[in-house]
A and B are shown apart, each in its own frame.
Chain A
């Protein structure tokens, strides 16, 4: 099984540009999450979803949007990229036991 797959792995954006980070999982997990990781700061939750059609904000949702039209996919949208959004983004999924499985990450630089 592929587990959690994120694309792209790397991206450079100019200030004000928009992009979508893709995430798909093949474990039939209901719960999916987006985290950002900044050096020395651990993982901060951006948005999460408990099932198709249901999303909710995490700790740091400003500047981001998500949708969950299927169980498998949970894309993260950046509408107006800002330098503060330079980070490594991780998508994860879990069952009810919350044992989250992570993708390999997307390293985003906004210049």
Chain B
């Protein structure tokens, strides 16, 4: 099946720092989604991207759909303690006809106050 390579696996940062993480694939994707999961909860959608080159923000979060359609990036600016969690990328690569998402393995973010 399709694979998404998400990096880094984990990050330990100080409050106030900016964060960058990315997701890559050997296949072209038509949709990229970024989710955040907090302990004991289900993933929550942060940002959805539908066009190559698209740059979308949600508060301090910004995500980009790579121009090659094989990657996506998520940036968090001025991190705060409540940013702690696991961030997942997810992609769909069949134009919606298969109705399935492939998920990366996640980036665990720890923010030191």
Which residues of chain B (69-113) have a CB below 8 Å from chain A?
Answer: 88, 90, 92, 96, 99-101, 103-106
* Contact of B48 (CB < 8 Å), options: A41, A96, A97: A97
Q: Which of A43, A45, A48, A98 contacts B43 (CB 8 A)?
A: A43
17 A-B interface contacts by CB (under 8 A): A40-B105, A40-B106, A41-B105, A42-B88, A42-B105, A43-B43, A50-B99, A59-B1, A94-B99, A98-B31, A98-B92, A98-B99, A99-B45, A100-B33, A100-B45, A104-B40, A105-B41
Q: Are B33 and A98 in contact (CB under 8 A)?
A: yes
A58→B45 contact, CB < 8 A: no
Closest to B6 in A: A42
Known: A59-B1, A98-B92, A99-B33. A45 touches B45 (CB 8 A): no
Q: Which residues of B contact A40 (CB under 8 A)?
A: 9, 105-106
Please give the number of chain B residues whose Cβ is less than 8 angstroms from any Cβ of chain A in the complex.
24
How many residues of A are counted as interface, with CB atoms below 8 angstroms from the partner's CB atoms? 27
Chain B residues within 8 Å of A, Cβ to Cβ: 1, 6, 9, 31, 33, 40-45, 48, 50, 88, 90, 92, 96, 99-101, 103-106
Cβ-closest chain A residue relative to B4: A42
Instruction: Give the shortest distance, in Å, between A95 (CB) and chain B (any CB).
Output: 10
Which 3 pairs show the lowest CB-CB distances between chains A and B?
A102-B42, A42-B105, A43-B103
A101 at the interface (CB under 8 A from B): yes
Measured CB to CB, the closest approach of chain B to A30, in angstroms, equals 9
Query: A residues engaging B (CB < 8 A)?
Result: 4, 31, 33, 35, 40-45, 48, 50, 58-59, 90, 92, 94, 96-105
> For B99, what are the chain A residues with a Cβ–Cβ distance below 8 Å?
31, 48, 50, 94, 96, 98
Expressed in whole angstroms, the minimum distance between the Cβ of B100 and any Cβ of chain A is 6
Residues on A with C-beta less than 8 A from B92 are 98
Closest to A40 in B: B105
Given A90-B43, A98-B33, A104-B42: A43 and B88 interface contact (C-beta under 8 Å): yes
A98 to B44, Cβ gap below 8 A? no
